[in-house]
Chains A and B, each alone.
Chain A
Amino acid sequence: MREENYLYFANAGGNDTDKDMAMFPASTFRGAVTMSSTTTEFFFAPQDGTGTTANGVLLTHSDIASGSSETATMVIGDNNQHKLVMEEFAQLASGNRKNTTNFTVIRDLNTVPANEGAISATGISDVSAVAITID
């Protein structure tokens, strides 16, 4: 058995169109970069085996700038939502779970099947949207 975590992402679609879901071995993770005040993209080695293009999962999260007070609006240098999401990702991706299936839900926003909802309620609750790019 290969003792490796497999990282699962699913967007809010119905798991019925292209790239509604993706799963990557944790060992294929290449890094993550902030893209905007509310998005961070996680990159993986491409599934097509070329090694020359990227597969990316863009995660949307909250922005402290959206606070309701003037102070929160203007003093936003200490926005750590990105770091929070990265840290939670690291914890999940590196979770050492012996004698389990190592199936690791990073974020599952899927709502089907209707009588069951998402396949797992676990994952990073701070993430509100998932966009998957497979080049």
Chain B
Amino acid sequence: MENYLYFRKLRTVKSTHEQDGTQQAMTAAFPAADIGVAANNDNLNEIAAISVTSKDGGGTGHASVLFDPTTIVPTLAYSTDARAIATGSVHWIEPSSQAYANGILTLDVHGTAGGYTLDDDDIITVYWKTGLETAFMYPVSALKGMVATDTNTTTLHFASIVGSATDDVVTIEHGNAKFEDVCKMINDACNAYPRDGRLITVIDGADGIMNTLHAGNPAGITSIEYAPQGGAAGMAT
């Protein structure tokens, strides 16, 4: 019997960004306090919904949510009609039609296929959900070890989930010089319930709240990153 180590990335319910200019790409990544490290934060299917709030009615939108009143339970339907933009009006954009890389969302411009042409100071809001590699678990036997890579970063190495010769790596950002606290936590997770075998929540950043196995988060963990060697394209299905 062995334990299974569960990790979930830091994700708030929603993140907002105020655009500084008229370009379609966000002028800064979503805050690290919401999503952790922005680098390689690329999974569009973690985005459940996107809204744009017009600062002063200046943008142009062709997409927003319609509710179909003919069904008992209304379902989301994204319109491709031109929408009236006014100060403070909120417009919902089809998430799967946008681009997302390194914590920066790039919206399609307005057009017959939908989209929204941003104006200065428009507010972009993203609602997060579980998507590709948001959460994962490994059996304890897959843990190869861990190493400090700088004063506030520790990496965990697991045997590749798809059998690659290169390890899957979990990078933990934590308080300065808290390496020993992180190691102690992993040790406790591996050795809990030695006669049983359970799912042990090591780090869970759901809803933007960093819960760790050790109450009170003594290691000061702020986020985790996950780099399976197989990646999305290398998964078995």
Q: Which residues of A contact B (CB under 8 A)?
A: 27, 29-37, 41, 43, 45-46, 50-56, 58, 63, 65, 68, 73-83, 86-87, 89-91, 93-94, 96, 131, 133, 135
Contact = CB atoms under 8 A, between A and B. Distances in A.
Contacts, number: 150
A37 B44 CA distance: 11
B2 interface: yes
A83 B6 contact: yes
B30 to A, nearest CB: 13
* 7 closest Cβ pairs, A-B complex: A56-B236, A94-B197, A77-B13, A90-B199, A54-B162, A133-B236, A31-B138
Contacts of A76: 13, 48, 127-129
Contact of A54 (B199, B207, B235): B235
B93 to A, nearest CB: 13
Contact of A51 (B142, B163, B237): B163
B142 A31 contact: yes
A56 B198 contact: no
B127 A53 contact: no
A79 to B, nearest CB: 5
Interface residues of B, number: 54
B49 A30 contact: no
- Chain B, interface SS category: loop
B83 to A, nearest CB: 19
Given A53-B162, A83-B6, 17 more contacts: A31-B136, A31-B142, A33-B135, A34-B133, A34-B135, A43-B236, A54-B236, A65-B129, A73-B76, A76-B48, A77-B11, A77-B129, A83-B8, A86-B4, A91-B198, A94-B3, A94-B196
A37 B129 contact: yes
A77 B128 CA distance: 6
Contacts of B3: 90, 94
A90 B137 CA distance: 10
Contacts of A58: 236-237
- Chain A, interface SS category: mixed
Interface string B15-51: 0000000000000000000000000000001001100
Nearest to A52: B163
B130 A37 contact: yes
24 contacts: A29-B139, A31-B137, A31-B158, A31-B168, A33-B132, A33-B135, A33-B136, A41-B237, A43-B236, A52-B164, A53-B236, A54-B235, A76-B13, A76-B129, A77-B11, A78-B207, A79-B130, A83-B8, A83-B201, A83-B204, A90-B137, A90-B197, A93-B197, A96-B196
Contacts of A41: 235-237
A99 B1 CA distance: 15
B118 interface: no
